[in-house]
Amino acid sequence: MKELLVEKDKIKHNLKIIRQIINSDGKNDNGEKVKIIAVVKGNGYGLGLIPYAKFLIDNGIQMLAVATVEEAIELRKAGIKEDILMLSSTAVKSDIKKMLENNIILTIGSKEAGDVVNELSKTKKARVHLKIDTGFGRYGFIYSDREKMIESIKSWNNIKIEGTFSHFSIAFFGKGNETKVQFERFIKCIEVLKMNDIETGMLHICNSSAFLRFHDMHLNAVRIGSAILGRISIPNVWGFKRVGILKSNVAEIKTLPKGYNIGYSNSFKTKKETKVAIVPCGYADGFNVIVDKDMFRKIDKLRYIVRDIKNVFKKQEIFVKINGERLKILGRLGMFHVTVEITGKNVNIDDEVLFEVSPMFVDSKITRKYI
């Protein structure tokens, strides 16, 4: 049976590193330690929303963040009572009503969203975080529209602002010049809001990459997602451990004659008599799935071209682990199966096979097993 194995000791190890970094910063201007907001969006980054969230809470996390209404409600239905921040602003009445009924901290990033929240919160003040768009171009008040922002906020009587935040667009890359510009825009907005007697609450702008690279931007809280999984977008010099590995089992073993085709497209033929293991696991399960090219600047296109040319001259091989040994996959990957060379190896039916994967891409129907 296929399972995504989630190593609890690795999560604890990564949380320890994160807390060590926070402790090394000392306390902020309010005499408090920086708060960790654990981001559990995308089915807990693939680790299973509910078991992952509960494990984090059991290990000292007091605030969670999600990206969809469905995730927020699912956490509440599972009995989670800790603070939950919905990171996405919305002006859809039905969604706002559901979240208010479930004591979700809402994000307000527009006059329209704030007006609806204010309208629906007549009996009890809504808990919200303001979102300021400092150059990401998605949710949030545009940083330069301060007068409009202030006018909107002052018109809301049924809203309690508990935090204000923004989001970096490129904290994982470059020298940080763009990130510093965004940070300065955010701080200037906060100053203007306070000058107009608007309470800004908890301030946060750092995601995992920014948290690790820019300690002076930690403010009151940091939003940590990928770093808890040890799957960061920058060189790992801190010793984070990658969490999550996909497990299957050997289903069949056979010996193929020399010159025999393996898999689709007739792209591989055996050069000698070859013993193989057939393993029920493929790209439909999340193995060897990657994000397609999604950047369209000329410089990005050039990078893709250079990378693809280099790959032409590289020997492309994919491996799995059986009994602790790296063994090569032969032929093209199938949707639900792979063929692994085991010539001369002590491999048997039902032996465990481990696949390196990104948990985000592993089919949600596959069981998450915490070990």
Residues 218 and 145 in one domain: yes
Q: How many domains does the chain have?
A: 2
Residues 167 and 268 in one domain: no
Residues 185 and 295 in one domain: no
315 inside domain: yes
Residues 299 and 162 in one domain: no
Residues 205 and 266 in one domain: no
The CATH number for 225's domain is: 3.20.20.10
Contacts of range 155-159, beta carbons closer than 8 Å, 24 or more positions apart? 155/115, 155/118, 156/114, 156/115, 156/117, 156/118, 157/118, 158/117, 158/118, 158/119, 158/121, 158/122, 158/125, 158/126, 159/108, 159/114, 159/117, 159/118, 159/121, 159/125, 159/126, 159/128
Return d(Cα 177, Cα 182) in angstroms, integer.
9
117 inside domain: yes
Residues 218 and 256 in one domain: no
Residues 224 and 249 in one domain: no
**Are the C-beta atoms of 64 and 56 separated by less than 8 Å?**
yes
pTM for this prediction: 0.92
Residues 209 and 171 in one domain: yes
Residues 14 and 134 in one domain: yes
Which range of residues forms the domain containing residue 62? 8-229
Per residue of the chain (371 residues), give pLDDT as tens. Answer: 899 999 999 999 999 999 999 998 766 666 678 999 999 999 999 999 999 999 999 999 999 999 999 999 999 999 999 999 999 999 999 999 999 999 999 999 999 999 999 999 989 999 999 999 999 999 999 999 999 999 999 999 999 999 999 999 999 988 889 999 999 999 999 999 999 999 999 999 999 999 999 999 999 999 999 999 999 999 999 999 999 999 999 999 999 999 999 999 998 999 999 999 999 999 999 999 876 656 555 555 565 555 555 555 556 789 999 999 999 999 999 999 999 999 999 999 999 999 999 999 999 999 999 99
203 inside domain: yes
- Measured in degrees and rounded to the nearest 5, phi and psi for residue 158 equal -110, 25
Q: Among residues 196, 229, 262, which one ends one of the domains? A: 229
**Are the C-beta atoms of 275 and 340 separated by less than 8 Å?**
no
Residues 18 and 103 in one domain: yes
Distances (CA, A) of 270 to 196, 225, 325: 75, 44, 21
The CATH number for 278's domain is: 2.40.37.10
Residues 183 and 300 in one domain: no
- Measured in degrees and rounded to the nearest 5, phi and psi for residue 122 equal -75, -25
Return d(Cα 193, Cα 198) in angstroms, integer.
5
Residues 222 and 343 in one domain: no
322 inside domain: yes
